[in-house]
Structure 1
Amino acid sequence: MIKFVSYNIRKSLGTDRRRQPERIMQILGELDADIVALQEVDRRFGQRATTLSPELIVDFTGYMPVRFGIREQSLGWHGNVLLVKKGLQVTNQQRIELPAFEPRGAVMADVTVGHERIRVVGMHLGLIGNWRLKQAEAVVGYLEKLEDRMPTVIMGDLNQWAQDGGCLAEFARHHDIIPLGPSFHSRRPMLPLDRIITSRDFRLEGAGVHRSALARTGSDHLPVWAALSLARAEAAA
């Protein structure tokens, strides 16, 4: 079983208006995931400096950051970062350009867990519906053009309020959208903005929204998670 998490950390700014990267580290420790997709890690302006230092992540969590930043001060790509549990092998890191009215992008990497390679995409889609649809089409199209296909998990803040339609309909053509629950606003969650989407290679073991007291103050979003097993691995066993 592999645990995946997606979390929009709002540049480490909590609902108490305090910017506390250490609190985000504690929340990541509570989650105890294998693979994490973070959004809004880097600041949007100036040098786009990260709010989570790689050294802090390595020293105080069980994760290793996957480097995507093209600036020395940045950890991610348009604020998107992937973290993997220490000891997991990461290859084929790629930045995905997305069509957008405002700057947007996605990140991708192949992660070896046990004897299986899994493709992971982290993304943060736009605020405008027609652009979200174009961005979903771009992510799906990018994955379809890759020569080597493998089990894939797509995670992130989709910024879609509705339970279906829109960009979700594009992903649902060839993927499963895991039911998770509302993750925004963390003080009173009502909107399911954060999503985990999978290729049809997985068996769902569990999923939900992480609602700890610390998570309710760490960001305006709550983390979402899914525990997955590879169906083909189960069949072989």
Structure 2
Amino acid sequence: MTTSAHKVHANGVFPMRVASYNVHGFRGRDGRWNMERIAEVIRELDAHVVGLQEVVCKRDCPRTMQFGDPRSVLADLAGLTGHHAITGINMATGRSPCCNALLVKTLPRDVTALDISLHEREPREVVSAVLGTAANNVRVATVHVGLGFGERLGQIRHLVELVEQWGNERTVILGDFNEWNPLSRSAWRISRKLGAPPCGMTFPAHFPLLPLDRLGVTPDLRLWNAHAHRSRLAREASDHLPVVGDVMPAQEPGSDGAS
């Protein structure tokens, strides 16, 4: 059950609990494809918005499962978790197994899917949506950055540029950044430019050693209680642990700015 501390206000979007989860094509530590198991982990997170990476495509599904469009699998997941599903370019075209998606509790005002692929590398994208009212809104975006050093650096640079292009929009980034070196240029850009410091170790899920998954917010927002979700089921359902945290405006009207 959603607690009042995490319930979205009727007249806006805050306070808001957000999460990021690489679901590994719904294949768990035991090698079995199990959507219901992933859905149960998502329900444990109790998040208003969940950014998903490595959502299942046709080639990842069990051969016994027949469906015409990989988006139907995401729709089933949304039904199991009580969210609305937002798909991206890769899922719509089936061109890559690295499909991103958003699960949101309320219908968005605007949806975009932007290609950040680099030449001769696997297709990558940013899927984003604007939630809330015209007067009180926030953009949420999910991303899955590539494995190669140059690929990561280029895609993170592109993501920073996108956030800058969105201008004055309050923005939350949910992603698997595939960055394990805290001293790299990529890590610096993720932490400083995207407001996404490590949330804890998330990979591999059964014995996490690397902080690959992160949450980020623009300076006009405040992220607190960000952490890796380490339930028994989360350690079995995917090769990544999800990360979850709470978001509020950096200073709400009438507040004194105290945290």
Give the TM-score of the pair, scaled to structure 2: 0.80
Query: Residues 235 and 191 of structure 1: is their aligned pair in 2 closer, same or farther, counting only changes over 3 Å?
Result: farther
Contact 1:96 1:139 in 2 (8 A): no
Contact 1:41 1:80 in 2 (8 A): yes
Quote the residue 2:231 is aligned against.
Answer: 212
Match of 2:111 among 74, 77, 93: 93
Deviation at 1:232, TM superposition (A): 3.1
Contact 2:142 2:175 in 1 (8 A): yes
Given residue 27 of structure 2, which amino acid in structure 1 is its aligned partner?
L
Deviation at 1:219, TM superposition (A): 0.4
Match of 2:103 among 68, 71, 83: 83
- Rounded to whole Å, the distance in 2 between the matches of 1:48 and 1:80 is 19
Q: What CA deviation, in whole Å up to 9, does each residue of 1:10-58 have, x standing for no partner? A: 0000001110001111111111101100000033759995387244234
Q: How many residues align?
A: 233
Q: Which runs of 5+ in 1 are unaligned?
A: none
Name the SS for the 1:59 alignment partner.
helix
Superposed, which structure 2 residues align to 1:1-237 within 5 Å?
1-43=15-57, 50=70, 53-69=73-89, 78-85=98-105, 88-100=106-118, 101-112=121-132, 116-146=136-166, 149-233=168-252, 235=254
**Larger proportion of strand:** 1
- Rounded to whole Å, the distance in 1 between the matches of 2:152 and 2:57 is 21
Deviation at 1:112, TM superposition (A): 1.4
Q: Matched residues, percent identical?
A: 32
- Rounded to whole Å, the distance in 2 between the matches of 1:78 and 1:163 is 24
Give the TM-score of the pair, scaled to structure 1: 0.87
Name the SS for the 1:65 alignment partner.
strand
Given residue 90 of structure 1, which amino acid in structure 2 is its aligned partner?
P
Deviation at 1:173, TM superposition (A): 4.2
Q: Which runs of 5+ in 2 are unaligned?
A: 1-14, 61-66
Q: What CA deviation, in whole Å up to 9, does each residue of 1:63-95 have, x standing for no partner? A: 111133576686x9941000011xx23022111
The 10-residue stretch of structure 1 (3-12 or 164-173) with the greater mean CA deviation from structure 2: 164-173
Q: What CA deviation, in whole Å up to 9, does each residue of 1:74-122 have, x standing for no partner? A: 6x9941000011xx23022111111322222221111117962111110
